[in-house]
Chain A
Amino acid sequence: MNEFDCGLGLKAATSIQYAQAVPLAYSIDRDLCIGCGLCEKICLAGAINYDDKPKRTELEVGAAILAVGNELFDPGVQEVFAYGKSPNVVTSMEFERILSASGPYMGHLMRPYDREEPKKIAWLQCVGSRDTHECSNAYCSGVCCMYAIKEAVIAKEHAHGDVEPTIFYMDMRTYGKDFEEYYNRARDEHGVRFIRSRIHTVDPVEDGNLEITYVDDSGELKSEIFDLVVLSVGFQVGEESVKLAGRLGIGLDKYNFARTDSFAPVATTREGVFVCGAIQGPKDIPQSVMEASAAAAASSVLLSESRWTQTRVQEMPPETNVIGEPPCIGVFVCQCGINIAGVVNVPEVRDYAKTLPYVTYVEDNMYTCSQDTQVKMAEVIKEQGINRVVVAACTPKTHEPLFQETLMNAGLNKYLFEMANIRNQDSWVHGKDPAAATEKAKDLVRMAVTKAALLEPLPDTELGLEPVTMVVGGGVAGMVCAKNLADQGYEVHLVEQSEDLGGQARFLNKTWKGEDIQAYVKDLADEIEKSPQVHVRRSTKLTNVDGFVGNFSSTLKNGDKQIELKHGVAVVATGGHEYKPFEYLYGNDPRVLTHLEMDARFIQDDPLLKEIKSAAFIQCVGSREPDRPYCSRVCCSHTVESALELKRRNPDIDVYVLYRDMRTYGEREDLFREAREKGVIFFRYDLQSKPKVSGGKDALEIELEDQILKRSVILKADLLVLATAILPSEAGQLTTFFKVPVNDDGFFIEAHAKLRPVDFATDGIFLCGLAHYPKSIDESIAQSLAAASRASGLIATGKVFASGTVARINPMWCCSCGVCVSICPYSAPSIMEEGRFAGKAEINPVLCKGCGLCVASCRSGAIDLKGFAQDQIMAMIDEV
C-alpha cells in the first residue's frame, strides 16, 4: 500500500516514496519486505546495504528549530461519517492525491468505489475540528475552508465542468489574503454550492452513493444523495511530536501545540529552541513559510558570532566552452501535471520540437521543475552534449533561475537558456481551445528554439553590497525587523514619518492570548532607541530612491534637512489603519465606537464600562462588501476578546455580537467558545439584510432579522462597537521608488503568495506587517522576523551579482552622438576620454540594468543588448 497516496495506490517493497522526494533514492519498506535479500546481490551499483541499521549521530548546535508539523485527524473514530465503511468517503488529503497528476489515478477525477467520475461531490467541513467531543479537537484547523474551496474548483477543472460541488460548513473562514475573493468566485463563477449546516450522518446507500442528513440554517432536517463525500479533516499534534517535545523540554499548550508568546511567536519555553509551522498552531503555507524564516532570524541572533564558521562551499563544475560549436539544442516540454497537459497536446509539441533546426534532443516531463527531473536534466545535458536548453513550461518570471542553476550544474553557462511560456500565457488562458493552444505552444517553442540557437555565454558581474538596511515604517513590524537585524549585528535606519514609534499597536489593549500590548510596545520602542545599531529617524519622509539591490541610495527629508542614505536592502513596513465608517450612526452618536476606540476605553479603565447594562458588536463593517471584498482577518477575534473583557469587568452585562461568519481561526476558537459559555449572544446576519441602528434616548436600538426565529428582533445596547476594516497605508510613491506593485485593495503584492511571502519581485526589497495584509500582532511579528531573515541573507553574503544581460557598444560603429549618454536612466554610458576610441561611447556593465533603451535609440546600430540581441529578437519575429 502506498502511504503517500493515502493507501489509494500500491507500491513495491523497494520504492521511492514519491516523485519529488529528497533525496531521490529507493528505500526498503521492512513491513512489506519478505527478507530475501536479492536486491543487495543484483544491484549493479552496490548501493544497497541490506542490513543497514538506524544510526545515532550527535551534533553540537547553538540553536534548534522544531518544524515537525502535524498529523491529520483520523475521521474513522467518528462513526457518523461512514469513513472506512464506504470507499467513497475520503479525507481531503486522499482527495488531493486523487486530483494529483502524479497520484494514484494520474489526475483523473474518479471515486475509489468503481473508478467512475463522480458528479455530485460533498465536502464536510470541521471534521475533527471545532468539536468538543472527546475524540475530536476543539480548535479550528484554520486551513480547511480554503482547501475545500480549492478542491471544489479544481475538481470542476479536472472534470471540465461536469461536477456539482457542495460544501457543508458552519462558518466559512476565508480570512487570508485574496481568500474571500476566491470564495466569492467559487460561489458566483464556478457554481460551488455552499450550505451552512450541521451534519447529522453520512449513510452508504446503493451504487456506492452516500446520503447526507443535515440540519440547515433554519433548523430543518434535510437529506441529499452524493456520489462522493470528502471529509475536510483538521490538524492534530502527533504522539511522536509530543514525545519529542518532552525530550527537548519545551512547553506545550492544552492541545499539545508548542507554547509560544505572542511577542516571540517562534520561541519556545526553552531558550535556544525555536518552532515554526503547524506544530506551533494550525496554519497555512504562507504563515508557515514566514515562521520558518522567522525562526531562522531568531536563531541567527544567537549564532551571529559563529556565522560562516561551518560553511561548505558548493562545488560547481567548470564551465564548458561552447563558443564556436554548432548549437545542439535540448527541448524539455513540461506537462505541469494537468496544468499544461490538460489543454496542450504535449507529446505533439515535443515531437514538433524534434523537427526544428539544431534540436538534438527532446523530452516531456510531468513536472520539469521537480528535483528528480532537474537531476536527470543535468545528466541528459552532459550525456547528449547539449549546449543550449529550451524549457517549454510555466514562466521565466518564476522558474528561470531554477533551470539556470541546472544548467550551471551541468557545466553550461546559465545564459544558454530560453523558456517558452506555454502555461501562464497559453494553456491557462486558452483552456477552452486545446487545438489553438497546441498550435500556439508549437509557435512559442519554435520562437524560443530560434532564439536559443543564437544565444551566447555571458558573465555575471560581482558587486559589493552596502551592509545597511533601511526599514520604512516604525510600527511594531518595522521595529521588530530593525531590532532583529541590529541583534544580528547589522546597521539599520528606521524611518518613521510621524513623531512616535509604535504605529497602530499604541492603540491596542491586549493580544488574543491576553498579553498586554501597551507594555510591549513601550519596551520595544525603548530597546530600539537604545540600540547602537539602529538609527531612528522620526518625522522623516522618504522622497526618492535610486539604485538597485546592494546599492540603493535614498533621499530622506526631515523638515528642511535632507539626508542621502546608502543602503543595500530595504524593508517596507508602512502598516495600515482602522477604517472610519460612515454607517451605523458612527460619528453621530457618541455611543457608537470602533474597535480601537473601545480599546482606548479599556486602556484608560473607563468606569462607564462597569455601569452599562448592554453592549453590541457589529462585524464586517467595511469588510467583505462589494467595494472592499477582503476579510480584515483579526476583527472576529478582537470582538470576542473585547466581549470577554467587558464580561470580566462586569459579569452582568448583556453582550451581543452581530456577525456574518465567525472567523476565530486556529486556537482563537477557544475565545469564541468561552464567549458563548459566558453568555455572549451571537446573531448572524446576511449582507442583504444588514442590521439597522437607531439612537434611542436610553439606549441604541439595533434591528435585525433573526435567522432562527425568522422574524425581526430589536436589541437595546448602551454601547455599540463596530468591527471596522483594516486599510493599508497609502502606498504613494513607494510603488515607483521600489518598483513594487499593490493589489486592488492597496496592499503590497509579494513575489509569491505561498512560497515568497515577504519578498518582493524586486530584488532586495522585503515586506512585513499590515502593509501586506491585515494580521494579528503575533503574525506581524513573525512576518517581520521573516523579513529580517531574508534581508540578512543578502547582507551576510556581502555581495550581489549583476546580470550579464547588459548593453555593449561596438566603438567602430559609434558616431559619438551622445544619445545613449543622455537617454540612460542609470548613467551607464559615457564618452571615453582617452585611448584609441576617445570620443566614442562606452557602457559600464556594473551600472547597466539591461533595459535596452540605448540599443533602440542608437542611430548607428552600434549598441546591442546581450541576451536580448538584435539578431535574437529579429529571429523570433521571423518565426512568429
Chain B
Amino acid sequence: MNDWEPKITTFLCNWCSYGAADLAGVSRFQYPPNFRIIRVPCSGRVSPKFILAAFRHGSDGVWVSG
C-alpha cells in the first residue's frame, strides 16, 4: 500500500483556478504529479455527471475549483 499513488481528476475554472495553476508554475511551486487538470470555462460548467464519470473511470478523487 505504501507505493500507492492516488489519481485525482481536477476541474479548474479558466478564469481563476486554472490561471492560479499557471501562476504556481511561474512561481515554480512544486507539488505532487497526481493531478490531471481539465480546463472548464467556469466551475458552473461542471455537471455532477462529470464527477461521477471521473470516479467511474477510476479516479481516486475529484477536485473542482473555481
- Taking beta carbons and an 8 Å cutoff, which residues of A are in contact with B? 395-398, 421, 423-426, 428-433, 436-437, 439-440, 443-444, 447, 739, 761, 805, 850-853, 855-857, 865, 867-868, 870, 873-874, 876-878, 880
A489: min CB distance to chain B, Å:
34
B6: min CB distance to chain A, Å:
12
Within 8 A of A (CB), among B7-64: 7, 9, 14-15, 18-19, 21-26, 28-31, 33, 36-42, 44-50, 53-54, 57-59
Residues of B within 8 A of A855 (CB): 45, 47
Whether A851 and B30, one on each chain, are in contact in the complex, defined by CB atoms closer than 8 angstroms, is no
Partner of A424, one of B22, B33, B42, B48: B22
Asked, given contacts A440-B36, A877-B53, A880-B54, whether A425 binds B44 with beta carbons under 8 Å apart, the answer is no
Whether A873 and B38, one on each chain, are in contact in the complex, defined by CB atoms closer than 8 angstroms, is yes
A392: min CB distance to chain B, Å:
13
The residue of chain B having its C-beta at the shortest distance from the C-beta of A153 within the complex is B28
- Taking beta carbons and an 8 Å cutoff, which residues of B are in contact with A? 7, 9, 14-15, 18-19, 21-26, 28-31, 33, 36-42, 44-50, 53-54, 57-59
B43: min CB distance to chain A, Å:
9
Partner of A856, one of B18, B24, B46, B58: B46
Cα distance A878–B57 when bound, in Å?
A: 6
Whether B47 and A425, one on each chain, are in contact in the complex, defined by CB atoms closer than 8 angstroms, is no
Whether A429 and B24, one on each chain, are in contact in the complex, defined by CB atoms closer than 8 angstroms, is yes
The residue of chain A having its C-beta at the shortest distance from the C-beta of B51 within the complex is A877
Cα distance A431–B32 when bound, in Å?
A: 11
Cα distance A61–B44 when bound, in Å?
A: 52
Partner of A853, one of B26, B45, B59: B45
Cα distance A876–B54 when bound, in Å?
A: 9
Whether B28 and A440, one on each chain, are in contact in the complex, defined by CB atoms closer than 8 angstroms, is no
Residues of B within 8 A of A447 (CB): 36, 38
Cα distance A852–B14 when bound, in Å?
A: 12
* A-B pairs with beta carbons under 8 Å apart, 21 shown: A423-B25, A424-B23, A424-B24, A424-B26, A425-B21, A425-B24, A426-B33, A429-B24, A429-B25, A429-B31, A436-B33, A805-B41, A851-B42, A853-B45, A855-B45, A856-B44, A856-B45, A856-B47, A865-B41, A877-B54, A880-B36
B22: min CB distance to chain A, Å:
4
Apart from A421-B22, A424-B21, what 20 extra A-B contacts exist at CB < 8 Å? A395-B25, A397-B14, A424-B23, A424-B24, A426-B25, A428-B26, A429-B29, A429-B30, A429-B33, A430-B33, A437-B33, A440-B33, A805-B41, A851-B41, A853-B44, A853-B45, A874-B49, A877-B9, A877-B54, A880-B7
Whether B30 and A431, one on each chain, are in contact in the complex, defined by CB atoms closer than 8 angstroms, is yes
B37: min CB distance to chain A, Å:
6
Cα distance A338–B9 when bound, in Å?
A: 28
Residues of B within 8 A of A439 (CB): 33
- Among A439, A850, A851, A855, the one with the most B-chain Cβ atoms within 10 Å of its Cβ is A851
Residues of A within 8 A of B26 (CB): 424, 428
